[in-house]
Amino acid sequence: MPMLQNDYHLSPSRLSDHYSLEITAKDVDALHDSKALIAPDTQIAITFLPGEDPSSRLAATQAVRKLGFEPMPHFSARRIDSLRSFETYLHAAVAQAGVTRCFVVAGDPLLPEGPFSDSAALIATGAFERAGIRTLGVGGHPEGHPHMSEAQCWDVLQSKCAEIAGRGMEPLIVTQFGFNADPFVSWLDNLRRWGIDAPVRIGIPGPAGIKTLLRFAGRCGVGASTAVMAKYGISITRLIGTAGPERLIDDLAARILPSHGDVRLHFYPFGGIERTVRWIENHRAPR
């Protein structure tokens, strides 16, 4: 989609206002060490990894709250073995970490480990609103979904957002990360055309080694062609060194319009939390 001509210019620093971060349970020490670099109440998502002890994930959620940030624990539907374990963990997160926002995904397993085949099944239980959750996040896929057509992606996303709102909660969309602004801008255009007005967090890869970035791209099914990576600032014929998302963020800032609504950035700190938040602050500084 060609870039729209307009007089609206969103600065990269403004686009980065109120950014969010994603961590694993193992990242708590690094988050603590980086506390001074992160604004209070920053939204911190805590992932739901396979084979992870739920108590470790709960401890990480508690730590996020104690550090003065806003925890958003993930719930991976196909990795939850029972309704009881789902509700037990949810209520513990609310009671012990003051959780008011959560994020739901289907999860990677092809076959569910319990009664939930997808994130819609978790939403349908009514457990989130009963627990007092006010914001419920779902995933967005600007570069498509490996198991759904484009039309199915839009149908499912629209249905989830409507279901969440109908249950008295605010939907939030957090996208898969990417290296190219084009799919993000096109997806935002289509999102609003579908009448979905939920706030959006665009997934941004934090600065990292080039091999690390390509490894995560391959694992997550993100487009990383030679042309895309060259636009991002990486030559895949030279895998030495590190790369940050400055070109991507600058391009997004130049192309996101008022009609796109509430759009912020969500950072995946592939190169480490401290490196990511230091990079964000340096990029936000006046240039």
Tell me: the pLDDT tens digits for 13-64?
Answer: 688 889 999 999 999 999 999 999 999 999 999 999 888 889 999 999 999 9
- In sequence order, which residues have a C-beta less than 8 Å from that of residue 277 and are 6 or more positions away? 21, 34, 37, 38, 269
120-156 burial code (b ≥16 CB/10 A, e <16): bbbbeeebbbebebebbbbbbbbbebeeeeeeebbeb
**pLDDT tens profile 266-277:** 999 988 999 999
What does the alpha-carbon distance between residue 145 and residue 141 come to, in Å, rounded to a whole number?
Answer: 6
| CA-to-CA separations, 6 to 14, 70, 175, 253, in angstroms, rounded | 18, 35, 25, 13
Return the residue matching tokens 């099944």: 121
Q: Using CA atoms, how far apart are residues 119 and 111, in angstroms rounded to an integer?
A: 13
The span from the CA of 179 to the CA of 181, in Å, is 7
pLDDT in tens, 62-101: 999 999 999 999 999 999 999 999 999 999 999 999 999 9
Give the separation between CA 146 and CA 153, rounded to whole angstroms. Answer: 10
- Least confidently predicted of 97-106, 185-194, 203-212, 266-275: 203-212
Query: Averaging pLDDT over each range in 56-65, 109-118, 200-209, 278-287, which range is the top one?
Result: 56-65
**Which domains does the chain show, CATH number per domain?**
12-284 (3.20.20.220)
pLDDT grade for 184, boundaries at 50, 70 and 90: very high
